[in-house]
């Protein structure tokens, strides 16, 4: 896990914080949200746990969004995570329209999404991926629990996710 901590000295019309992560420092993806306090004149401390960090160096930043939609970004921070990432991770879970898959090497990978009866609903082939994160559109799935399987180099890995 990677724990992100930050604090605010004051807050004016602060709606929320979106936590963003990137594997290359340029292409950022939202990995979570934390509600802001709205208005505050005292120091407030926040934290967010990234349960699925990427192996190696990742870049994190915080997008602070006001009630009127105006936003600012924090400075970007690099984190070197050397944990076990043999498997894959999906986030957010539950998801509504996009599901992100992270794996150390996604090249030559097949992605299969099935319902709980085992009926195959979607398949995608990743032939070449310079990134170790890819988005999968799940707008066409009904709300429910699904199985996602990653097949690469004769290895099969499966997990579940919830579509809301």
Q: Calculate the dihedral angle through the C-alpha atoms of 106, 52, 3, 18, rounding to the nearest 10 degrees.
A: 80
Segment of 2-6, 42-46, 94-98 carrying the highest mean pLDDT: 42-46
- pLDDT at residue 85, as a whole number: 46
pLDDT tens-place string over residues 85-104: 456 888 888 888 988 888 77
The H or E element that residue 2 is part of is strand 2-8
pLDDT tens-place string over residues 58-82: 899 999 999 999 999 999 998 887 7
Contact 95, 161 (CB under 8 A): yes
Joined tokens for residue 137: 């559109």
Lowest-pLDDT range of 7-16, 36-45, 110-119: 110-119
Q: How confident is the model over 103-107, as a mean pLDDT?
A: 73
Contact 59, 22 (CB under 8 A): yes
Provide the percentage of residues in the chain whose pLDDT is more than 70: 93
Joined tokens for residue 141: 């799935």
More confident residue, 2 or 61: 61
The secondary structure of the chain as a DSSP string is -EEEEEEES-EEEEEEEEEEEESSSSS-EEEEEEEEEEEESS-EEEEEEESSPPSEEEEEEEEEEETTS-EEE---EEEEE-S--SSEEEESSSBSSEEEEEES--TTEEEEEE-TT--EEEEEEE---SSSEEEEE-TTSPSEEEEEEEEETTEEEEEEEEE-
**This prediction's pTM:** 0.56
């Amino acid at each position: 896990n990677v724990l992100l901590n930050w604090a605010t000295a004051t807050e004016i019309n602060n709606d929320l914080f979106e936590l963003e992560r990137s594997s290359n420092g340029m292409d950022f993806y939202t990995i979570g949200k934390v509600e802001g306090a709205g208005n505050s004149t005292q120091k407030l401390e926040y934290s967010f746990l990234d349960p699925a960090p990427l192996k190696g160096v990742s870049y994190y930043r915080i997008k602070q969004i006001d009630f009127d939609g105006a936003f600012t970004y924090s400075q970007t921070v690099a984190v070197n995570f050397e944990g076990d990432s043999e498997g894959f991770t999906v986030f957010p879970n539950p998801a509504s329209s996009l599901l992100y898959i992270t794996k150390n090497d996604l090249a030559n990978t097949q992605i299969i999404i099935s319902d709980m009866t085992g009926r195959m609903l979607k398949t995608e082939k990743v032939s070449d991926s310079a990134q170790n994160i890819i988005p999968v559109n799940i707008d066409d799935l009904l709300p429910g629990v699904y199985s996602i399987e990653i097949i690469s180099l004769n290895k099969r890995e499966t997990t579940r996710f919830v579509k809301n």
